[in-house]
Amino acid sequence: MGKSLNIIANSLRLTFQELKVNKLRTALSLTGVAFGIFCIIGVLATVNSLERNIQNEVKSLGTNTIYIDKWEYAGGADRPTWKYRARPNMKYEEAEMIKQRALLLDDISMLLRTGGSISYKDDVISNSSVYGITEAQMEVQPFSFEYGRFFSNSEFTSGSNVCIIGFANAEALFGNSERAIGKQLEVRGKKATIIAVIKKEGKNFIGWDYDNCVMLPYRFCRQIFEEQWSNPVLIAKGKEGVTPTALSNELKGIMRQIRRLAPTQEDNFSLNSVEAFSKAISDSFVTINIVGAVIGGISLIVGMFGIANIMFVTVKERTPVIGLKKAIGAKKGSILFEFLMEAALLCVIGGAFGLFFVYILTLILSGPLHFPVFISLPMLATAVIICIIVGVLAGIIPARRAAKMDAVEAIRSK
């Protein structure tokens, strides 16, 4: 054990001496490794952070949730837009019939999705998202409040002129979101009393636009916006332990019964599974990771040749020292290990520079992308393992040459 540690210590000392003596040659050789690690880990860090952010937003839609809509969210060439547009809209009565017939259903809500201007006195927000929701919305897709409460059953039933407002809208209209409670804003000329402010969510790519929304009870929303032009959708949540596939199959059968479709008729509705959407997102990111790995791999190959070049020169310069070590009893294995470890160390140093630049990249990207870009521990472990493997591959031939040297001839080469 002590002998191995001594070999490692001597190798480290000689390696750093080599770095000091041949700064330019070492820098050029390490650049390839640094750039390779930067490409691989940089792409992985950015893409994985982006994917995690999008997947979290997808999960906010409900982990075991099916969106029943006239539109198919995945789209497809065999489903042109005019076909979807010709389908009938979802109806409130259909939600009630599904709830009565479905055995695997936990709950189902009706949602109207539209946009419009909202105002308070002279302040106007022209592009707010407006949602008309039913009683089951909080059960199907719960959200948190900064201030206030959810609609009561009586407010839903009577279609009371009350509303829940998003955090960004509350701040834009009232300066301080807490001051929004109890105020009356106008939604398309109709007054609505604010009873709650939704907790700040931040910017997202998909799903709910909570920060910039106004939520209204379904019956009140119908008084302001025409239902057929409000993109109605049914959101069904399965019971605990029910798979999305089983829930989707049951809902398909029920919807076909409700709409009295003959066996030969195709569906005039779409069942959009959140789980399927999540899987499609994961699959789409695989290609991006592969492209980044290929670019980084080419850079690492270039860096590997640079490290190999350093090791060949190092072996040549240390030939007399190798001869002396062999003369006093050093074995082939110890010589081989010494040079392999030195090559691996050079790659790890290059990789460390690459990781440093990736860290700088994460700081730069985290602001504009509006979500944290990070380097995970598995990525760090991957970077170290890649560096060690590249170092061993780069140093194997020079190290074997050093290990096979004849002691007498090596000493005479001085």
Q: What is the pLDDT of residues 301-360, one digit of tens each?
A: 877 887 888 788 878 877 887 788 778 877 888 888 878 888 888 888 888 888 999 889
Give the distance between the most distant pair of CA atoms in the chain: 102
- Give yes or no for residue 155 having a pLDDT over 80: yes
- Rounded Cα distance, 314 and 308, in Å: 10
Helices 319-327 and 274-317 cross at an angle (nearest 10°) of: 80
Query: Would you state the pLDDT for residue 154?
Result: 95
Query: Would you state the pLDDT for residue 369?
Result: 72
CB 107 within 8 A of CB 115: no
- Rounded Cα distance, 206 and 259, in Å: 30
The mean per-residue pLDDT over the stretch 137-165 comes to 94
Higher pLDDT, 33 or 194: 194
57 pLDDT tier (thresholds 50, 70, 90): confident
Q: Report CA-CA distances (Å) from 208 to 48, 98, 169, 272.
A: 22, 24, 14, 16
Counting every residue written for the chain, the total comes to 414
Phi, psi (rounded to 5 degrees) for 308: -60, -40
Alpha helices in 22-87 (DSSP H): 23-59, 81-85
Write down the domain spans for the chain: 2-57+279-412, 88-268
Q: What is the pLDDT of residues 213-253, one digit of tens each?
A: 999 999 999 999 988 888 899 999 999 889 888 999 999 99
- Rounded Cα distance, 411 and 160, in Å: 97
Q: What is the pLDDT of residues 118-134, one digit of tens each?
A: 999 889 998 899 999 99
Task: Provide the phi-psi class of 201: left if phi over 0, else alpha when psi is between -120 and 50, else beta.
Answer: alpha
Share of the chain above pLDDT 70, in %: 89
Query: Would you state the pLDDT for residue 206?
Result: 60
- Rounded Cα distance, 13 and 338, in Å: 11
2 pLDDT tier (thresholds 50, 70, 90): low
CB atoms within 10 A of CB 316: 12
CA angle 125, 127, 128 (to 5 degrees): 80
Phi, psi (rounded to 5 degrees) for 105: -85, 135
CB 414 within 8 A of CB 318: no
- Give yes or no for residue 76 having a pLDDT over 60: no
Cα of 412 vs its chain's centroid, Å: 61
Query: Would you state the pLDDT for residue 53?
Result: 78
Residue type, 34: A
Exposure string of 139-175, with b = 16+ CB inside 10 Å and e = fewer, is: ebbebeebbbebbeeebbeebbbbbbbbbbbbbbbbe
Residue-wise DSSP of 131-177: EEE-TTHHHHS---EEEE-PPPHHHHHHT-SEEEE-HHHHHHHHSSG
Cα of 246 vs its chain's centroid, Å: 27
Q: What is the pLDDT of residues 270-313, one digit of tens each?
A: 998 877 777 777 777 787 778 777 877 887 887 788 788 878 88
Phi, psi (rounded to 5 degrees) for 386: -60, -45
Query: Would you state the pLDDT for residue 375?
Result: 85
Q: Report CA-CA distances (Å) from 118 to 129, 141, 151, 223.
A: 10, 24, 19, 15
- Give the residue from 200, 209, 215, 193 showing the smallest Cα distance to 133: 215
Q: Flag whether the pTM goes above 0.85.
A: no
Which 8-state DSSP code applies to residue 111? E
The mean per-residue pLDDT over the stretch 157-171 comes to 95
SS3 content of the chain, % helix, strand, coil (to 5): 60, 15, 25
Pairing of strands 184-187, 213-217: unpaired
Query: Would you state the pLDDT for residue 15?
Result: 62
